C-alpha cells in the first residue's frame, strides 16, 4: 500500500530584501495510512512551514508533495483538514455553526450538515454546547470544537500544528488522550507538529525529527508501545532520549548559525 | 442593582425637567428666554395644527420632511460607505492612496460644505440630503475600511484551509468579522447625518424641523421653538436606540 502522504525533496525558500531565506531544505517524508506521525524539531526549524505545504496553504519552491498519489496544489478540504494552534472559531457563529462551516462552504445540504456536526461534536464530547458561542467556552473546549470542525469534513488526513500549544499542561494531557481515542475510532492519518518530546512520544506511531533551519528530516522511527502510555515506559523513555539527542545537537548548531545569521527576515 | 441605576437615571431626567420648570417660573432665569416646561408642552396642540402661521403644515408635516431627508441621506451614505470602505480595506494599494486623504478631509469642519452645496442645489431637500450624505460617508468609509483590514489573519488562514475563495471569503468571513466596526460606523454616520440635516434646515430651507425652529425663533414663539427642539432631541434618541437594538441583535456574541 503506497504511503498516503509523500513529501519528495521539498524545499521552501523565501525572497527577502537581504537575500534568500531557506526555511526547509530537501525534506523527505512518507506517511502510511492510519499512522500518527509527530513532527518535532528545534524552534524555527520549519515544521509549521512543512505542515502548511502538506496542507496546500504554501507551495514548495522545489519538490513535490503527494496525497494519495495526487500532487498537492492547494487546499483539499475533502482529503486534508487542518487544525491550528489558534482554534480560530468564528465568534459570530455558534459552536454548531462553526463545525458546519467547512461543509456549508462545500455546498453540503442543511440536514446532512446538521447531522455530521452533531456526530462529531458528540465525538469530542461537546454536544451539550452546540448552541453556545465561542466566547462562552474555554480554550480547551474551543480547540475540541476546532477538531470537530476538521473531522466533520471527513478527510483522510488530519494535519495539526501544535493544537495544544496554548493550553495548560493538564488540558494538554487529557486532550492528547482524547485525540488518541478519536484517532483509533476514526482511523485517520495524522501529522502532528509539537514542541513537546513527551507529547510526541505519547501520541505517535512514528516520529519524524527535523534539523535546525533550513529543516530537513534527519530521523524517522516508530514507537511500538501500546496505549495507555506512561512517561516511565521504556519505549517512551527511549523515544524521548532519541529525539532529544538530535534536537539538542540541532539547537547548538542553530545557536552557532544564529549568531552570524540575518534575523530580520524570518517570514511568518 | 440594575433597577437602582434605572431609577437614578429617571431621577436625573426628572430633576432636569424640574429645573426647567422652576428656574423660569421663579424668575431666576428670564422666562422669555427659558420658557417654563409646562408652557412649552402647552404649545404642542397649536404646533400640531396644520393651519398655524408659524409652522405651516403643522408639526407632523415638518417632522416627516426632516425624517425623509435623514432616511435618504443615511440610507445612501450607509450603502455607499460600506462598499467604498470594503474596497479601501480590501485592496491595500487603493486603500493606501485614498485613506490618508479621507482622514485629512474628515478633520475639516463640515460647515464649509454648506455655502457651495446651497449654491449648487438651492434650498430644496436635495441640498440637505447632499450635505448629510457627504458628512455621513466619512465615518462609514473609515470604519468599514478599518474593520475589513483588521480581520484576524487566523480567520482567513482557516478559511483558506477549508477551500474558501473569493466572494465566499467576503460574505462569510470578512463582512461578519468586520461587522462590529461597520455597526459603529453606522452609529457615527447617523449622528453626522442628523447634524447635517438639521443644521442645513436651520440655515437655508423651506421646510423641516430645523427650518421650523428658525421660524419659531424669528417670530418670537420661543415656547414653540423649545417644543420643536424637544422633538428633534427625541427623534435623535429614538433613531439611535433603534440602531443600538439592531446592533445588539446582530452582534450579540461580542
Contact A219, A209 (CB under 8 A): yes
What do you get for the CA distance between the two ends of chain A, in Å? 36
Question: B163, A75: Cβ pair inside 8 Å?
Answer: yes
Helix or strand (DSSP H, E) at A177: helix A169-186
Domain boundaries, chain B: 1-34, 41-253
* pLDDT tens sequence across B122-136: 888 999 999 999 999
Residues of B in Cβ contact (< 8 Å) with A82:
158, 161
Span A207-220, mean pLDDT?
Answer: 92
pLDDT at A262 over 70: no
Beta carbons of A86 and B173 less than 8 Å apart = no
pLDDT score for B52: 86
* Residues of chain B neighbouring A133 (CB-CB closer than 8 A): 252-253
How much is the average pLDDT of B232-238? Answer: 95
Asked whether residue A264 carries a pLDDT value surpassing 70, the answer given is no
Torsion of CA A101, A105, A106, A108, to 10 degrees: 60
pLDDT value at residue A19: 83
Kindly determine whether residue B162 and residue A91, on different chains, have CB atoms separated by under 8 Å: no
Whether B252 shows a pLDDT value over 90: the answer reads no
Residue A48 and residue A58: Cα distance in Å, rounded? 10
| pLDDT on residue B133 | 95
Question: Residue B249: its pLDDT value, please?
Answer: 84
Mean pLDDT across the stretch B37-65?
A: 90
Order of strands, sheet of A70-71, starting from the edge strand that comes earlier in the sequence: A19-31, A5-16, A62-67, A70-71
CB contact under 8 A, B158 and A135: no
Q: Which of A52, A58, A74, A88 to substitute to test the interface with B, most B CBs within 10 Å? A: A88
> What's the predicted TM-score (pTM) here?
0.82
Our CA-based measurement puts residue A241 at a distance from the nearest CA of chain B, in whole angstroms, of 35
Chain B contact present for A71, CB below 8 A: no
Provide the sign of the torsion angle of the four alpha carbons A190, A193, A198, A199, taken in this order. Answer: negative
Name the band, by pLDDT with cuts 50, 70 and 90, for residue A243.
very high
pLDDT at A250: 85
CB contacts of B163 in chain A (<8 Å) are 75-77, 102, 105-106
Cell numbers that stand for B243 in this block = 440602531
Confidence of residue A268 (pLDDT cuts 50, 70, 90): low
Is the CB of residue A57 less than 8 Å away from at least one CB of chain B? yes
Which of B155, B157, B162 lies nearest to residue A105, judging by beta carbons? B162
Residues 6+ apart with CB under 8 A from A244: A197
**Chain A environment of B179 (Cβ under 8 Å):** 92
pLDDT digits (tens, 9 = 90+) for A52-69: 999 999 999 999 999 999
Which of the following CATH numbers is that of domain B41-253: 3.10.310.30, 1.10.357.10, 1.10.40.60, 1.10.3720.10?
1.10.3720.10
Contacts of A135 in chain B (CB under 8 A): 253-254
Beta bridge partners of A20: A15
Q: Average pLDDT in the A174-181 region?
A: 93
> Within its chain, how far is the Cα of A190 from the centroid?
7
A9–B contact, CB cutoff 8 A: no
pLDDT in tens, A119-133: 999 999 999 999 999
Q: What is the mean pLDDT of chain B?
A: 91
ipTM for the complex shown: 0.87
Amino acid at each position: 500500500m503506497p504511503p498516503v502522504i509523500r513529501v519528495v525533496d521539498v524545499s521552501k525558500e523565501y525572497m527577502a530584501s537581504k537575500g534568500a531565506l531557506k526555511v526547509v531544505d530537501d525534506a523527505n517524508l512518507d506517511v502510511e495510512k492510519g499512522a500518527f506521525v509527530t513532527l518535532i524539531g528545534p524552534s524555527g526549524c520549519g515544521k509549521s512551514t512543512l505542515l502548511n505545504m502538506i496542507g496546500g496553504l504554501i507551495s514548495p519552491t522545489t519538490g513535490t508533495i503527494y496525497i494519495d498519489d495526487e500532487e498537492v496544489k492547494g487546499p483539499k478540504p475533502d482529503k486534508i483538514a487542518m487544525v491550528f494552534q489558534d482554534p480560530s472559531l468564528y465568534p459570530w457563529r455558534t459552536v454548531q455553526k462553526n463545525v458546519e462551516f467547512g461543509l456549508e462552504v462545500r455546498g453540503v445540504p442543511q440536514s446532512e450538515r446538521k447531522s455530521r456536526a452533531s456526530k462529531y461534536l458528540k465525538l469530542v464530547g461537546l454536544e451539550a454546547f452546540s448552541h453556545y458561542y465561542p466566547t462562552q467556552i474555554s480554550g480547551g473546549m474551543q480547540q475540541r470544537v476546532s477538531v470537530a470542525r476538521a473531522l466533520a469534513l471527513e478527510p483522510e488526513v488530519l494535519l495539526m500544528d501544535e493544537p495544544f500549544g496554548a493550553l495548560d499542561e493538564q488540558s494538554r494531557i487529557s486532550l492528547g488522550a482524547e485525540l488518541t481515542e478519536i484517532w483509533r475510532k476514526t482511523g485517520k492519518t495524522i501529522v502532528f507538529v509539537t514542541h513537546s518530546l513527551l507529547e510526541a512520544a505519547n501520541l505517535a506511531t512514528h516520529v519524524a525529527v527535523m534539523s535546525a533551519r533550513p529543516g530537513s528530516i534527519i530521523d524517522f522511527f516508530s514507537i511500538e508501545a501500546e496505549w495507555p502510555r506512561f512517561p516511565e515506559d521504556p519505549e517512551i523513555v527511549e523515544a524521548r532520549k532519541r529525539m532529544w539527542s538530535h534536537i539538542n545537537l540541532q539547537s547548538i548548531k542553530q545557536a552557532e548559525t544564529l549568531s552570524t545569521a540575518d534575523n530580520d527576515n524570518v517570514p511568518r | 442593582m440594575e433597577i437602582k441605576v434605572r431609577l437614578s437615571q429617571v431621577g436625573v431626567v426628572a430633576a432636569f425637567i424640574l429645573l426647567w420648570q422652576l428656574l423660569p417660573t421663579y424668575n431666576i432665569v428670564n422666562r422669555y428666554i427659558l420658557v417654563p416646561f409646562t408652557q412649552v408642552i402647552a404649545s404642542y396642540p397649536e404646533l400640531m395644527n396644520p393651519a398655524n402661521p408659524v409652522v405651516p403644515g403643522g408639526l407632523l408635516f415638518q417632522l416627516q420632511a426632516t425624517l425623509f431627508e435623514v432616511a435618504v441621506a443615511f440610507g445612501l451614505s450607509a450603502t455607499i460607505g460600506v462598499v467604498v470602505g470594503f474596497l479601501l480595506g480590501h485592496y491595500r494599494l487603493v486603500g493606501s492612496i485614498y485613506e490618508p486623504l479621507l482622514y485629512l478631509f474628515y478633520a475639516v469642519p463640515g460647515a464649509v460644505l454648506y455655502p457651495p452645496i446651497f449654491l449648487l442645489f438651492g434650498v430644496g431637500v436635495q441640498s440637505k440630503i447632499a450635505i448629510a450624505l457627504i458628512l455621513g460617508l466619512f465615518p462609514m468609509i473609515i470604519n468599514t475600511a478599518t474593520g475589513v483590514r483588521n480581520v484576524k489573519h487566523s480567520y482567513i488562514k482557516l478559511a483558506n484551509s477549508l477551500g474558501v475563495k473569493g466572494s465566499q471569503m467576503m460574505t462569510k468571513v470578512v463582512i461578519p468579522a468586520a461587522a462590529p466596526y461597520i455597526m459603529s460606523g453606522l452609529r457615527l454616520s447617523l449622528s453626522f447625518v442628523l447634524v447635517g440635516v438639521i443644521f442645513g434646515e436651520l440655515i437655508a430651507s423651506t421646510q423641516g424641523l430645523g427650518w421650523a425652529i428658525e421660524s419659531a425663533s424669528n417670530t418670537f414663539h420661543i415656547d414653540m421653538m423649545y417644543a420643536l427642539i424637544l422633538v428633534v432631541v427625541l427623534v435623535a434618541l429614538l433613531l439611535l436606540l433603534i440602531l443600538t437594538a439592531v446592533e445588539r441583535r446582530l452582534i450579540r456574541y461580542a
